[in-house]
Chain A
Amino acid sequence: KNQVEQSPQSLIILEGKNCTLQCNYTVSPFSNLRWYKQDTGRGPVSLTIMTFSENTKSNGRYTATLDADTKQSSLHITASQLSDSASYICVVTLGNTGTASKLTFGTGTRLQVTL
């Protein structure tokens, strides 16, 4: 069964600290993996998109890594800010068919950055 598991479910860190969120998937064949940030009450915003041939991609203080062999991805946040408080969702696309049923979503990690 194609699954995407994220950990931890929730995380509280102090402002200025770094953190790493994990995404493990069993989706196969793999097409691409996306990380989204979703603020409370708003739509998700794309942070990174990686195909199987890419093993790292950065977007400002956000750096995503991908190990297609172990089927693991991580999202590293550097020098966290209060505005980083949000849910982070990992989404994996199966193959290259582009069919709706082939998107598999993680349940997200809820990050809270405090003073």
Chain B
Amino acid sequence: DAGVIQSPRHEVTEMGQEVTLRCKPISGHNSLFWYRQTMMRGLELLIYFNNNVPIDDSGMPEDRFSAKMPNASFSTLKIQPSEPRDSAVYFCASSWGPGLGRNEQFFGPGTRLTVL
């Protein structure tokens, strides 16, 4: 298995532009997580899905952020409009099983987003 796949690996955009990050979870996993990591705030969980359904999005910072999971093998995280403070590394992770229990999460390589 190729593991969790994220694209793009790097994204540089200008303030106000729309940014779409993509994630393909490990085949067979039914939970998917979006994280953000910055030097100042560390790692933060933004939203997670179970069986393609968003379970809790209370970690999403603002309405400018939205996430979708149209099927079991694909998810997107969209920022519209983007702002410089959104600059961070965004990780996608997947696991087997519901919720935030003791199931191991497998992380993708991340997307480094820079908003100028």
Contacts and interface: CB of A to CB of B under 8 A. Distances in A.
A43 B99 contact: no
A49 B97 CA distance: 14
Contacts, number: 64
B37 to A, nearest CB: 9
Interface residues of B, number: 27
A101 interface: yes
A31 B56 contact: no
Residue of B57, B98, B100, B101 contacting most chain A CB atoms (<10 Å): B100
B91 A43 contact: yes
A99 B55 contact: yes
30 contacts: A31-B101, A32-B100, A32-B101, A32-B102, A42-B109, A42-B110, A43-B107, A43-B109, A43-B110, A44-B91, A49-B102, A51-B102, A89-B43, A93-B101, A98-B55, A98-B98, A98-B100, A98-B101, A99-B56, A99-B100, A100-B47, A100-B48, A100-B57, A100-B100, A101-B56, A103-B45, A105-B42, A105-B44, A107-B42, A108-B42
